[in-house]
Structure 1
Amino acid sequence: MTPEQAAALTEYPELQRLIDLRGAGWMFLPTVVDGELVEVHGVRTWPEGWADALRVRYTTDAAGLRNDYTGGVTWQREGTLTEVIDGLIALPAPSDRLAPRLVIARRPLPWTA
């Protein structure tokens, strides 16, 4: 761990949760504007087209969701980084009989001319 990473974890211990997700197969992509990190997006894919996603703007501003293979949202949560990650970790695998399957929303379709 670099000194910068250690300092970030000391100041924001919640970041350890992102490191834990990365170790569980999540992939992350930072959004940088004018050289400053403004968001981090994460995704974990499951067999048969399911995906879990995470958006983090700050330790107090995060959102997570699970999409089925058609793009339907079957679970979502907004809140602190810790609350959202706890929710994602508690979600059963999509193949589990207790996993959420009811589509509660549809993601918007991309605009085309």
Structure 2
Amino acid sequence: MTQSETDAAAVRAFPELRHLITLRDGGWRFLPAPHVGGVPVRIDGFREYPGHWDAIRVESPVDVLGIRMTRENPPGLVWERTGSLGEVVTELALLPPPDHRLAPYLVTGTAPLLVPGHLEPAR
């Protein structure tokens, strides 16, 4: 089965996956999903830029966090959205690259570390 056939079968079974496929096809990478009782409990993904990361955490189709953070120590939060998978992926797709003149750049808080199990909304 080809990748596109696998993707099509997955989207037929779980239509929300089309949003994650869009991210993957845009260069995003995904971390191994933690499991409880053999069932994945969330999906974490990221995209790297020089000096920045974009990240997404999917707890459910309606409980999603998207962020952009600096690669400083500690990372600075420059953009954050929560909502449904479709809403957050759409906003991430519209977010200009960090070096674009219209990209958000003001650090509004300390971002979470991008490690499995530790991506929580900024405070």
- Residue of structure 1 equivalent to 2:121: none
Shift of 1:34: 2.1
Asked if residue 12 in structure 1 is aligned to residue 14 in structure 2, the reply is: yes
Please give the secondary structure, in 1, of the residue aligned with 2:23: helix
Q: What's 2:117 paired with?
A: none
Report the Cα offset of residue 10 of structure 1. 2.1
Within 2, Cα distance between the matches of 1:107 and 1:42? Answer: 15
Structure 1 residue 69: Cα displacement: 2.5
Q: Secondary structure at the match of 1:92?
A: coil
Give the counterpart letter for 1:37 in structure 2.
P
CA distance in 1, matches of 2:105, 2:6: 41
User: How many residues in Structure 1 have an aligned counterpart in Structure 2?
Assistant: 106
Out of 77, 94, 106, the residue aligned to residue 90 of structure 1 is 94
1:25-52 Cα shifts (integer Å, max 9, x gaps): 10012221221110000000002x2000
| Runs of 4+ with >6 A deviation | none
CA positional deviation for 1:58: 1.1
Which one-letter code corresponds to 2:38 in the other structure?
G
Deviations 1:40-95 (A, max 9, x none): 00000002x20000000111111100001221000000100001101111100000
Distance 1:35 1:68, change over 3 A: same
Name the SS of the counterpart of 2:15 in structure 1.
Answer: coil
In percent, how many aligned pairs have the same letter? 44
TM-score normalised according to structure 2 size: 0.78
User: Which residue of 39, 43, 46 maps to 2:42?
Assistant: 39
**Matches of residues 52-67 of structure 1 in structure 2 within 5 Å?**
52-67=54-69
- Equivalent-residue separation in structure 2 for 1:66 and 1:2 (angstroms): 30
- Give me the TM-score of the superposition, normalised by structure 1: 0.85
For 1:105 and 1:32, the matched residues in 2 are separated by 30
The alignment's C-alpha RMSD in Å is 1.8
Matched, 1:105 2:117: no
Structure 1 stretches of 5 or more lacking a match? none
Aligned to 1:77: 81
